Amino acid sequence: MLQTDSEIIVQPGQWHHLPSPYFYHATDGQPATHRTQVRLRLTPSTLQLAFDCLDAPFHGANTYHEHNTDLWRQEVFELFIAEGAATPTRYLELELNPNNALFVGWIDNPNGLRPDHLAFVPYAEAGIRHRVTRQAGSWSGELEVPLSLIGPQSTSIYRLNFYRITLLHQPETKRWECDPTNCAFLGWRSTLSGERPAFHRPAYFGTLRIA
């Protein structure tokens, strides 16, 4: 079964749960076996996001602890988001890993296939509240993102995607990095990138609409 959901409609102040607990493989759009639960809420000033990365028995192998480092090289949850209905060429990338390390950066992607430029948002200036809870076999995260960080709040519609990288087996060394042989690369909306997983394909972003 291929993906069908492409739009999220939220009532201000109310939590919205993504109906399916399964993301899709970035390469071919096939549903994953790892469950990922996502819920979000919009307030007048913030986007609140909570997620549960279930079926993650190896999350303790993550070795990244510093903010604004290469968190995508290991297990992580990611949000890409931009204001407006058009396919964005510039979008905010947020990442949170099992160690509660946060990545905040603006991505320029003019050709829609790969980042052309990354501009980090200094951690102290981002104003994002976040926390992580870890359990055996799963980990959960919460993010509270100021809407002013995303844009001037001149729209009731956003383009976005949620991603997850999850480790498939215990690595043999602490200096491991994720690749298609040891990790699953999953998205709420698959980017259908073919042989190699790729997240930075904004034409495949879904839509968040404020009712």
Give residue-wise pLDDT tens across range 27-54: 999 999 999 999 999 999 999 999 999 9
* Residue carrying the six token digits 């493989």: 25
Ordered domains of the chain (ranges, CATH): 33-210 (2.60.40.1190)
What are the φ/ψ torsions at residue 15 (nearest 5 degrees)? -75, 135
What are the φ/ψ torsions at residue 149 (nearest 5 degrees)? -75, -35
Binned at pLDDT 50, 70 and 90, residue 203 comes out as very high
Amino acid at residue number 182: N
Task: Give pLDDT tens digits for 144-155.
Answer: 999 999 998 888
* Structural element, H or E, at residue 139: strand 138-146
Task: Quote the pTM value.
Answer: 0.96
Contact 153, 42 (CB under 8 A): no
pLDDT-above-90 percentage for the chain: 95
- Residue 2 in this model has a pLDDT that exceeds 60: no
Task: Give pLDDT tens digits for 97-135.
Answer: 999 999 999 999 999 999 999 999 999 999 999 999 999
CA distance 210 to 151: 15
Q: Would you state the pLDDT for residue 155?
A: 84
Q: Would you state the pLDDT for residue 153?
A: 80
CA distance 102 to 110: 25
Longest CA span, the chain: 49
